[in-house]
Amino acid sequence: MKPENVTFEQAAAVNVAAMTAWQGLRDKGHLQAGRTVLINGAAGGVGTFAVQIAKSFRADVTVVCSTRNVDMGPIDQRRSRH
């Protein structure tokens, strides 16, 4: 089920963004706990997933985004530590 206010195209893009972040961090970046990762574009589609995935790996996450996006959920939580 998808929310009524989300198009099928938007719903499909969520999976692509999540898998791109996953593959970049885990498969290509070999991210492990305690490593440091910089996520440029952390407020974008891939970036928001990358922040959450990197945190789930218990990495030290540094984010880059425009000032208008600093208050976004995954971005604003950048100060939190595991």
Q: Which domain holds residue 26?
A: 8-79
- Whether the pLDDT of residue 2 is over 90: the answer is no
pLDDT at site 13: 86
Cβ-contact 51, 61 below 8 angstroms: yes
Q: In angstroms, rounded to a whole number, what is the distance separating the alpha carbons of residues 31 and 20? A: 14
pLDDT at site 19: 96
| Percent of the chain topping pLDDT 70 | 87
Domain CATH code at residue 36: 3.40.50.720
- pLDDT top residue among 7 and 68: 7
* Cβ neighbours of residue 6 closer than 8 Å, sequence gap 6 or more: none
The total number of structural domains in the chain stands at: 1
Chain centre to alpha carbon of residue 11: 17
Dig out the tokens for 29 from the structure: 């970046």
| Residue 18 domain-assigned (yes or no) | yes
pLDDT at site 78: 47
Dig out the tokens for 51 from the structure: 């922040």
pLDDT at site 69: 73
Dig out the tokens for 4 from the structure: 């009524």
